[in-house]
Amino acid sequence: MYPDDALVASVRSGDLAASVDLAASALPYALTPGPFDAAPDEGEPGLGTHYIRLFDVPATGTPCPLYGGALGGDRRATMEDLLRFYRHFGLSVVHAPERDLPDSVATVLEFLEYLVLREGDCAETEARTYRRAQRDVLERHLTRWSPVIRARVAGLDPADLYAAATALPRRLRPG
């Protein structure tokens, strides 16, 4: 998602870095997330300019669209698979405020957030269903997309924030 003023302010203030560090400290292993407080200096192109260059219209190299189906594989099959996940849990992207596609990395991450929140609000037997769905979405989609995103972005001279964000999934080791 395009970096809005709130994200830029969060990066500049260090709030984003603090949030990422807090989340990393809750993991059952050591993780040093990276420079999530590194915004371009005044006078340099802003995060929005970098976002467009990396993910929408890069000046050089191959674009890195943040849509799983465009990162390799069959786009239609990817979207159909994700829609089945969403429908199984009573969700739809039809009325989503951002109106993004089912295979948008942001949409998939929001779905995983939903599953985690639901898992925390239910009994252990039901929680297993949510954990299984999380694992399936990660294995079938995000863990396949993240190396492609990381490689493409690395070749496009990313801003420090985007380099750190795209490198982070490689360093996560779910138990």
Given a contact cutoff of 8 angstroms between Cβ atoms, the answer to whether 172 and 31 are in contact is yes
- pLDDT value of position 43: 64
| DSSP bridge partners of 67 | 104
Q: Is the pLDDT of residue 60 over 70?
A: no
Q: How far is CA 166 from the centre of its chain?
A: 8
Position 90, amino acid: G
Q: How far is CA 171 from the centre of its chain?
A: 14
Position 48, amino acid: G
**What is the pLDDT confidence band of residue 53, given thresholds at 50, 70 and 90?**
confident
Segment 62-89, tens digit of pLDDT: 678 899 988 877 899 999 999 999 999 9
Higher pLDDT, 124 or 171: 124
**Long-range pairs for 31-35: beta carbons < 8 A, 24 or more residues apart:** 31/171, 31/172, 32/171, 33/164, 33/168, 33/171, 34/160, 34/163, 34/164, 34/165, 34/167, 34/168, 35/160, 35/161, 35/164
Region 114-123 average pLDDT: 92
Query: How far is it, in rounded angstroms, from Cα 118 to Cα 85?
Result: 14
**What is the pLDDT confidence band of residue 159, given thresholds at 50, 70 and 90?**
confident
| Alpha helix segments (H runs only) across the chain | 5-13, 15-25, 47-51, 75-88, 105-120, 124-137, 143-154, 160-171
